[in-house]
Structure formats: C-alpha cells, structure tokens
C-alpha cells in the first residue's frame, strides 16, 4: 500500500484496503417464485407480472428470469400487496416469508479470488439455507432463512476477520 505523509506526520492512504469490509443484514424479506411458462407468450406474461407490481408501487429486487419461472424478493411489508397484485393474473405463485438478506461488501469484490466460495461455505457452516444470490461490483447478496441468521453472520465475521462495528443490522428485530 502506498502512503504519503502530511506536514503533521499523518499517513494518507492512496489505495483502499482490499477484502471484505462489511456485512449488512436486512430482515423480513419475502421471496416469490412465479410460474410464467416457456412458450412464445412467456415474455408477455413476465411483463404482466412486472406491470402489476409497478402499478402498486412495489419495489422488487434479486430478480431472476428462469426458463419457466421468474423469481424476485420484496421487503416483508410489501409481500401481501404483491400477492394481491399478482393474484388476478392466475399464475402459480410460491412465496417464502421470514427471510433475511445478507450483503457482503468489499471495494474490489471482482478482484477477490474465491470470495463467493468463502461466503457460501460460511453460510453452509451455519446450517443456513442459501435461497438466492445476487452480486454487484462491490457486493454479494445472499437470501437466507432468518432462523440461522445470527450464526451465519458470526461465521462470516470469523471467515473475513470482521469487527462487530463492521456488521450492520444484526441487532435489529
């Protein structure tokens, strides 16, 4: 790491530390699986689901388009409204409730070799079920069952040598 010194002998870092720096927890998440089929009208059915949710101003995330289903997550307070918005479309819908989104953050996530494997192993070691994952340039998001959340976060703390101050949202209920 390259450093320079200011006039008062204060080191200044020009390169941020690489590695996992934080874990953020969001509780009360619901996960939806909507069967949309695989025929030539699939795209219209997917669009109808998204339009129905948008009409009710329901924010969705962790959106995945699979061959015959779409999946997405919503904050728990939107779950009932989302179900009601989709119901008139008569699609088969499966919903899981009481989930938690664990977001692992690092400034150079793409440069970290094996980080996803370490995250998955930590969650597995805590006996937490990994339901869905997502990623961005600096985070990995893991949707897990809430009943193993505390153990999963503790495993992540141990694997990535994080202090309690680097964990956000775990104490909230």
Residues whose CB falls within 8 Å of the CB of residue 159, separated by 6 or more in sequence, listed in order: 118, 119, 121, 122
CATH architecture of 29-97: 2-Layer Sandwich (3.30)
Instruction: Return the pLDDT at 18.
Output: 58
Instruction: Return the pLDDT at 13.
Output: 46
Topology match between the domains 17-27+98-168 and 29-97: yes
pLDDT for 5-18, tens place per residue? Answer: 444 555 544 444 45
Please report, for the chain, the start and end positions of each structural domain, with discontinuous segments joined by +. 17-27+98-168, 29-97
pLDDT for 39-61, tens place per residue? Answer: 999 999 999 999 999 999 999 99
Q: What is the pTM of this model?
A: 0.83
Class (C level, CATH) for 17-27+98-168: alpha beta
N-term to C-term CA, the chain = 39
Whether residue 151 contacts residue 126, with contact meaning beta carbons closer than 8 Å, is answered with: yes
Whether residue 115 contacts residue 106, with contact meaning beta carbons closer than 8 Å, is answered with: yes
Whether residue 84 contacts residue 74, with contact meaning beta carbons closer than 8 Å, is answered with: no
Rounded Cα distance between 73 and 142, Å, is 11
Q: Supply 63's token pair.
A: 């959106």
């Amino acid at each position: 790491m390259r450093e320079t010194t200011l006039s008062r002998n204060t080191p200044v870092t020009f390169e941020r530390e690489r590695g996992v720096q934080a874990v953020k927890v969001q509780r009360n998440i619901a996960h939806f699986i909507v069967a949309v089929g695989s025929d030539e009208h699939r795209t219209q059915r997917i669009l109808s689901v998204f339009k129905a949710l948008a009409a009710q101003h329901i924010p969705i995330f962790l959106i995945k388009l699979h061959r015959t289903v779409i999946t997405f997550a919503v904050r728990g307070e939107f779950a009932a409204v989302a179900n009601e918005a989709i119901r008139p479309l008569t699609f088969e819908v499966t919903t899981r409730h009481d989930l938690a989104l664990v977001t692992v953050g690092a400034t150079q996530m793409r440069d970290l070799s094996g980080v996803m494997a370490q995250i998955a192993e930590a969650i597995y070691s805590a006996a937490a079920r990994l339901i869905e994952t997502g990623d961005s340039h600096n985070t990995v998001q893991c949707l897990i069952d809430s009943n193993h959340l505390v153990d999963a976060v503790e495993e992540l703390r141990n694997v990535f040598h994080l202090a309690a101050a680097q964990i956000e949202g775990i104490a909230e209920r």
